[in-house]
Each structure stands twice: as C-alpha cells, then as structure tokens.
Structure 1
Amino acid sequence: MFNNQTIIITGASSGMGKAIAESFLANGANVVINARRQDELDRFVADNADHTDRIKVVAGDIGNPETGTTLAKVAQEHFGTIDVLINNAGIFVPKPFLEETEESLDRYYSVTMKGSYFTSQAVIPFMQCQGGGSIINIGSMWVENPIEATPASASQVAKGGMHTLTRHLAIEFAKDNIRVNTIAPAVIETSLYDNLMDKDTLQSLSGLHPLRKLGQLQDILAWVEHLAGNGGRFVTGQTLFVDGGITAGSHSA
C-alpha cells in the first residue's frame, strides 16, 4: 500500500512509534526513524532484519533542530522522497501541577513541541518540491479532557502546542498539497505505561473510557495509515480523538 514511499517517524524505538514504523515496513514503505540512543535503534534494525534495506536510523535528541534536519537529509539522500512525517516523540509522566519544575517543563516542551516544530520545518521544503505530503502529529486527548486522578498539566501544555501547530501548518501549506493532522489517543496499551504503573492499575483505566476498554496499538495504526494514504487525501487541519468516547462526554463508571 505504501510501496516506495518514505516515512519519517520520531520516537520510534519502542511502543507506539515502533509499531507505526513496523506497520509501514510491512506495507512496503521505507522508514527513517529516530530515537535518543543508538543502541535502541540498533535493536529496531535487528528486530526487522528482513527489511534492513528499507530502514535508516538517526540517533539524537529530537528537541535539537539539527536532528530533524538530519532526518530529512537522510530520507532524501537514501530514498529520494519524504512522503509522510509522523511526529510521535513525546513524554508523558503524570505529576501534580504544584510539583512540576522549570526543568521538567522545559524537557516536555523540547521533546514534544520543539521536536514537532523543527522536524516539520526541516521536512516541509522537501514536500513542497515534490508536490505534497502528509504530516501526522501524535497528540493526546488529555489536552481537551483533563482527569483529576491523573494530573499531567506540564506534558499536556506541550501536547496542546502540537494540536495548535497542526491547524496553523494545515492552513499555511494547504496550497502546497501538504496535509497536517493530529491523532489524539486516550489510554493505549503500550510499553509507555510499564514504568508508570503495574498491569492491574493499567487495566483499571479502562473504566475511564465510555467503551469500557483500553485502546490497542491497531486502533492507532489504522488511523495513521488512513491519514497517510489516499483515504486522508481530503482531510487536513483536524484532530482525531481515538479515545474510546472520553471527549464525547462523561459516563457513570
């Protein structure tokens, strides 16, 4: 479905980012992936040894604009196009507002907001030259629907910036046939939560969703592929909440 297309994915060494990258590989795409540590990227390559000719890796802090520039150059030099950018890198650590520090706020902002901003800035000129492309930001339903039991103001301020960036880029670059959208998940069962809570606590969060279940990686992959492909060719500037109904309204737990 994505044969010979080139996809850049940030934060792709584990969890949702890794699943997205592997899904595109399975659908014939070339992938250029980023993570902070080289050993994590080497592990991704080893796990996908059958597709090494279609994988390039760039280690580095995505909050550093040079990392985004390198991702764009590697994609163009090795594969010739940049068809899709997935701004997936981000940090989510629930923490009460009164306990947050300037250091932690700066870190959320750097990875989530600056990473998305400057990687998009590096990629868009290539998309303009080739006649279009798709940028998909991985946001969060917590931006619109805070939950008292899981305070996360610092991380969500950064995610909220990503949601705003989506609309502005969608309008500014619509004339170039560059589509920009956000997917905003609720609780998706990934390795993200392994260091935050035990399995039983994670499963208890299913009660937050009106559908009474946790989201699965496939729920996100389906929409990423839809927005990246022809199914999303007339969709831009949108935030799609893949959240089990949370943002639709409250329910009795």
Structure 2
Amino acid sequence: MSEQVWLADTFEAHRKHLRDVAYRMLGSLSEAEDAVQESWFRLSRADARVIENIGGWLTTVVSRVCIDMLRSRKSRREESIEAQLPETFGSQANVIDPEQEAIMADSVGIALLFVLSNLKPAERIAFVLHEVFAMPFKEIATIIGKSEMATRQLASRARHRVRGTKATPEIDIALQRDVVQAFLNAAHAGDFDTLVAALDPDVILRDDRQSGSTRVTRGAIALAKQVSGRAQKTAELALVDGTVGIIVAPLGRLLYVLQFTMNHGKITEVDLISNPERISQLGLAVLSN
C-alpha cells in the first residue's frame, strides 16, 4: 500500500468524527464539509510520518478552521447558523441536500444548535470540544489561543448559557413542560379537545407577523382552531427567558419563538415572536431532560 493510499484511508476513518465536530461548531452541514475538506488539504501537505496521533492532529486542525470560519462569519454579521446548500461539493457523493442537513440537525438537537449560535466563537469551541468530545482544556487552550484557566472560564460561561441555569425552580419547569408539550403534541395531531384543555378560556395569542385586528387572537376555541393540525414539524421545546417555550428553526434557521404565560396549569398568554431584534433580547437555552 502506497503512502498516499494509506493517508487517504486513514483520513476517511476519521471523516465522520471530524464532520461531527465541525457541524456542532458551525451548525451548517455544507460549511462543516468545507472545514473537513480543508483539514484533508492540510494533512496531504503535511509530513504525516512525524504526526504521532493523526486523529488528534486532525481534530485540532478542523477546530482551528472552524474558529476562523466563525470569526469571519461574525465579522460579516452573518447568521451563526445558516442553511446554505451549494450545488456541488467535491464529488457528486458529497452533494448536500436538505434532508441530509435535517438529519444532522435532528441528531444534534435544533434547540442546542440555536443556543450554541448565540455563543462567542471561543465559547462555542471550548464548550463543544470539552462537553461533547471530552477534549482536555490544555489542548483546547492551544486551539483558541487562550490560557488553560481562561479556557475553563469560557467553557463554564458557555455551559451556564446553554443549560439556562437561571431558570425557574425545577418543579415549575416540569409543570410548564408538561403543559407546553401537550399543547405542541395536540397542535401536531390536530387534537382540538386537548388543545382547548391546555388553554385558559380567555387565552390571548399575540402574533407579531400579523397586523391590525389579526394580530391578536382571543379565547381558547379561536386559538385552538387557528393552530390545530398546523404545528411546524421543526417546533421544539426550549427555555425562553427561563420558562418553557417553543422555538421553530428548520435547519437551525430560526423562524419564530413562542413564549407562554401560565396560571394554575393553563396557558393564559402566547406571544409569537419573529422579529430578529426582539428575539435577540430573549434568553434562549436548551431544555434539559
């Protein structure tokens, strides 16, 4: 076996891991594939014979490529999670399609991807490499160009933001979760009676996508008719300002947030928020199991 064939086979053995690392950092499958391809270019130009741990070397390289991409993305003020689907990538086998991207997003969790997108690049790298892939802080520090102590602080800050540690007490979260999940399930299934049961008779829905008289919907019957059978497949529970809500983010691109107000186990108010400026002011976090 020639050295070139051995190198290609070795890289292919690590490709899935590298793509998983890159996707969690970038939230875009096409960009993740670009980062993986760049790591192959760098390996092919390096002297592999002097690399003791090719897997670790490749993880470091793809992480550095990702942090450069995140910083470049931020400087261009682009969205941190994108769904840019190029016509081709390398060979025909590497064409990215929406279904493949959706599978990747579902495997990671759309809520997690969106919350990660709100982290600073160094926080995101530190969190993903340590929390997801168990890389030691000493190695992460060399990737992001910080001291080990600073890297630990970045990961800790990211962990708090991702997990929403300022949430309301667990007993309230559990009740909210049950009510919102029942609402979402019923909206998916078109279960009108269950929808009405989850709502206060005088519930109010405010939808910032609408204007005039259609902006506000009043009453459990009217709201249930409006949402029954129409829930987005990508809708997912998340913490919104410390309480259980819903985000709708197909392929990680946020469309809107549903924020709920409850009283005695019933939904009394629903705010549908799609305005990017309003969303940026919300505290969004992953809802822990």
Asked if these proteins are the same fold (TM beyond 0.5), I'd say no
TM-score, normalising length: structure 1: 0.25
By percentage of residues, which structure has more helix? 2
Larger-gyration structure (1/2): 2
